[in-house]
Structure 1
Amino acid sequence: MSFHETRFPTALSFGAQGGPERRTEIVTLSNGWEERNSPWSQSRRRYDAGLGLRSLDDLHALLAFWEARMGQLHGFRWKDWADHKSCAPSVLPGPLDQEIGTGDGTTRAFQLRKAYASGGVTHWRTIRKPVAGTVRVAVAGQESTGWTLDPATGLVTFATAPAAGAAITAGFEFDVPVRFDADAIRVQVSTFQAGEVPSVPVIEVRA
């Protein structure tokens, strides 16, 4: 899969509809009970970047982005305005936000991830597209600078392996890896200064 490490213009994605979806297989037995199973370990996100009445310059920016991605061919980064931080949207990421591993004295590389907890159940989401410059990391509760980040994979690599038993935590902003989900864009120019694109479907890809 070809992926472009560039973000869809955030001014155009703001206000987009969308969110996570899951695939659940449900079999109803003859006694009325159900058997439920999901073949997906992670949810998959869909969005619609359709633009209401916007300036022709906005439409021009959308078309330029679309053409550069060659429609559905190349993936890109997308900012999910409702879920793009290791913490609540109203606060800044901190180095203690998310536990990403425990030191063993040997391992130097740790994958960024985010926990979704409710009712005593925690789901971990792997974060592969962090926003460079926003990541903060701590070892045993103390913020550290002795590490490097691969922003294309979300892998944090320490210069020296953290000590055994040390909690590795991190805070960050992140994007969703997506692609366009249609091979056509329908633009309507409403006036000499404005136009609209009713639907621009976008879907998450496994990156």
Structure 2
Amino acid sequence: MSRVRCCRGRPRAWFVLRPDQAAQWGLIEAAAEAARARGVAETFLWALPQVMRDGFVHFDTMGDEAVDAFDDVLFPLELGREAEVAPGFSTAILTSAGGREARNAGWAEARTSYDVGPGLRSEADIGVLLAFFRARMGAARGFRLRDPFDFAAAGEVVGVGDGVARRFALVKCYGAAERRITRPVAGSVVVAVDGIATSAFSVEAGGWVVLDVAPAAGAVVTAGFTFDVPVRFAEDRLSVARATFLAGVAASVPLIEVREG
């Protein structure tokens, strides 16, 4: 994390230099809010390429009543293998007259879309879905979804000890790509330090493991867990017809992953 120093009451700015430091945006956001509360005239989170790269979003809610737009409940229907899963990226591609390409990845992580409509198996399922949709106020409130194709991790390296740090973010790696896990299933997290399992830890909201004792410098901290994906309904309108359902036509119920952390 880098910052631009300033005098008291003057503008202050922070930014994240590298993609592997994306988790620091949350700390930067908290620091910026604290600076504003102390009377700093302006705070800046920059620059745009880093913000776009890491998918960071900030909503200015100072002066507004805090609202938790996420219900920590699991989607109530079993998806099965019929569900459609579509991870996506945002890549800008510039093609020259000679056919050469320049590509710029706008997101450091994939954002997954789902269609859970094909998993509806009965009229009772439709009733459960409609009630759940109303309770979430359409797209307004997020919830947990168990991805039938990707819901567990084992032996993931979540950090390396320095003798001081005790708090490590849960992640899952796909080759060189790293995915932040913010909704682990309660009771599923296991932790090891240099390959030795330990129970001396707690799990904080947002997918953070906090060890009772800081690991020694160079000690590798690994974790295994089951996790859910934070999602919301992609639309504020849900259309499910009994006639088409009885005719064997699958309804479309699109969901979209919610970025957290």
Normalised TM-score (structure 2) = 0.69
- Matched residue of 2:152: which SS? coil
The count of corresponding residues between Structure 1 and Structure 2 is 192
For 1:53 and 1:129, the matched residues in 2 are separated by: 25
The match for 1:130 is 184
Structure 2: any 5+ residue segments left out of the alignment?
Answer: 1-67
For 1:186 and 1:197, the matched residues in 2 are separated by: 11
Kindly, what percent of the aligned residue pairs are identical?
A: 46
Which structure's residues are more often strand, by fraction? Answer: 1
For 1:13 and 1:5, the matched residues in 2 are separated by: 21
Whether the aligned pair in 2 keeps the contact of 1:22 and 1:40 (CA below 8 Å) is yes
C-alpha root-mean-square deviation of aligned residues, in Å?
Answer: 2.1
The match for 1:85 is 152
Q: How far apart are 1:14 and its partner, in Å? A: 5.1
Q: Does 1:69 align with 2:136?
A: yes
- Matched residue of 1:138: which SS? strand
The match for 2:173 is 115
Which residue of 72, 76, 97 corresponds with 1:30? 97
Whether the aligned pair in 1 keeps the contact of 2:82 and 2:119 (CA below 8 Å) is no
- Matched residue of 1:67: which SS? helix
For 1:157 and 1:76, the matched residues in 2 are separated by: 24
Deviation per CA, 1:117-173: give whole Å up to 9, x if none: 2xxxx11111111111111000111101110002x4110001111111111000011
The match for 2:220 is 167
Moved more, 48-57 or 180-189: 48-57
Which residue of 136, 156, 159 corresponds with 1:101? 159
Letter in 2 for 1:112: L
Structure 1: any 5+ residue segments left out of the alignment?
Answer: 87-92
For 2:248 and 2:97, the matched residues in 1 are separated by: 55
Whether the aligned pair in 2 keeps the contact of 1:59 and 1:195 (CA below 8 Å) is no
- Matched residue of 1:63: which SS? helix
Letter in 2 for 1:113: V
For 1:136 and 1:52, the matched residues in 2 are separated by: 31
For 1:72 and 1:36, the matched residues in 2 are separated by: 32
Whether the aligned pair in 2 keeps the contact of 1:187 and 1:197 (CA below 8 Å) is no
Normalised TM-score (structure 1) = 0.86
- Summarize the Cα distance change of 1:194–1:107 in structure 2 as closer, same or farther, 3 Å threshold: farther
- Matched residue of 1:61: which SS? helix
Whether the aligned pair in 2 keeps the contact of 1:188 and 1:196 (CA below 8 Å) is no
Moved more, 11-20 or 64-73: 11-20
- Summarize the Cα distance change of 1:114–1:22 in structure 2 as closer, same or farther, 3 Å threshold: same
Moved more, 60-69 or 10-19: 10-19
Tell me which stretches of 4 or more aligned residues in structure 1 moved more than 3 Å.
Answer: 193-197
Q: Looking at both structures, which has the greater relative contact order when contacts are Cα pairs under 8 Å and sequence separation is at least 6?
A: 1
The match for 1:89 is none
- Summarize the Cα distance change of 1:50–1:30 in structure 2 as closer, same or farther, 3 Å threshold: same
Q: Does 1:146 align with 2:200?
A: yes
For 2:74 and 2:250, the matched residues in 1 are separated by: 19
Whether the aligned pair in 1 keeps the contact of 2:83 and 2:119 (CA below 8 Å) is no
Q: How far apart are 1:38 and its partner, in Å? A: 1.2
